[in-house]
Amino acid sequence: MKAALFSAARYQGPAEDVGWPVASTVYSHEAAQRSLQLSLDQFRMADELGFDWVSVAEHHYAPFSLTPNPMVMAGALTQIVKRAKIALLGASIPINNPVRVAEEFAMLDTISGGRVVAGMLRGTPNEYVTYNINPAESRARFEEALNLIRMAWTQTEPFGWLGKYYEYRAISLWPRIVQKPHPKIYMSGSSPESGEFAAKNRIGLGFAVTSVPQAKIAADFYREQCRRFGYAPDPDDIIYRVGVHVAETDDEAVADFTEAMRASPRGSLTMANRALESAVAATGYYGRDADSQRNRLMPGGLQERVDEGRILLGGPASVLKQIETIRRDLGAGVVDLTVTHQMGEKTNRSIELIAEKILPTIRGW
């Protein structure tokens, strides 16, 4: 089993309390720079400590994430992450130019020496509105864009494309993708339609902002569809992204987590929650009531969230058992771990404990 470290590059500064898009009235350039540097430092640490992947994602118009273009972040990572794979989980391809996405992935794969993992997402309805694209077209746009990207990666002769949503007279990628035939592709797979499309096209699935029981239903359906199309997926075809905090003991981990949530400003409660549950999809995060989120994060409901695999929390032995459940129930080969940002040295120690006490064991599974 492999482990990735995910960072949404959450803004660590003053922000508006509610709404989407979030106003930047009290935005601080210094805080934003510190926030991005913090994520880069954590990624460097993860690489040096032996994590298999580091991962970034695309989100827009709110302080939850400062990576509206994950390609830019990944470009920076090629210069500081020297060993681990760099996973873009993902690029929201229907709201972008798919040829440009294919070119940017090819650049990153070339610069990194073939270490890119390609997550492709549909994005969220609020982002479609801003980009003036009909959300009802998202699935069809996604499927066409993905097929176009794949063809651009594998076709060496110039070609044209005349589809329902995209039209290009001539396409020929320079530089080329290093990995053959192309980087491993993942997509979000919570719905039956997504699971069937992924199986039919031999694409891996990623799960986030969910629970292990919910993800198990989707993972079982995906495997069933893979069998229908004549093959069995590998464990690495399933990624489970989840928030994590590891301390020396269970009690210390719970105390750290509870203190961090209580200390979070009202406006950052939803962001903190998503950072811990992970953030492939922003739907449902924007506009939630912060007080109700605070109540859900306090002890009492917290154990239920741990039991459901929505959060990994505890000492190394306990978190190992929680990851073992993910491996057993989902058959997941990659766990994408989202650490909190607001705990300072405790966050760094959590990353170290994962590397020292957890990674050596799960690599043997």
pLDDT tens digits, 304-342: 999 999 999 999 999 999 999 999 999 999 999 998 777
At residue 264, the pLDDT reads 65
Cα–Cα distance, 71 to 119 (Å, whole number): 12
DSSP annotation of 154 reads H
Nearest CA to 155 out of 204, 114, 106 is that of 106
At residue 350, the pLDDT reads 97
At residue 324, the pLDDT reads 98
At residue 353, the pLDDT reads 98
The Cα-based distances of 284 to 19, 20, 270, 365 in angstroms read 12, 11, 10, 34
At residue 130, the pLDDT reads 81
At residue 17, the pLDDT reads 67
Per-residue pLDDT reduced to its tens digit, 28-75: 999 999 999 999 999 999 999 999 999 999 989 989 899 999 999 999
What is the percentage of the chain residues whose pLDDT exceeds 90?
77
Cα–Cα distance, 195 to 227 (Å, whole number): 12
Query: Quick one: how far is CA 94 from the chain centroid?
Result: 17
Cα–Cα distance, 279 to 114 (Å, whole number): 25
The answer to whether the CB of 225 falls within 8 A of the CB of 199 is yes
Helices (H) and strands (E) in the chain, counts: 14, 11
The contacts of residue 318 (CB under 8 Å, 6+ apart) are 250, 253
- pLDDT lower than 50: segments of the chain: 266-299
Catalogue all structural domains in the chain, each as residue range(s) with its CATH number: 2-362 (3.20.20.30)
Angle in degrees, CA 145, 148, 153, rounded to 5: 125
And the tokens for 336?
Answer: 């994408």
The answer to whether the CB of 117 falls within 8 A of the CB of 186 is yes
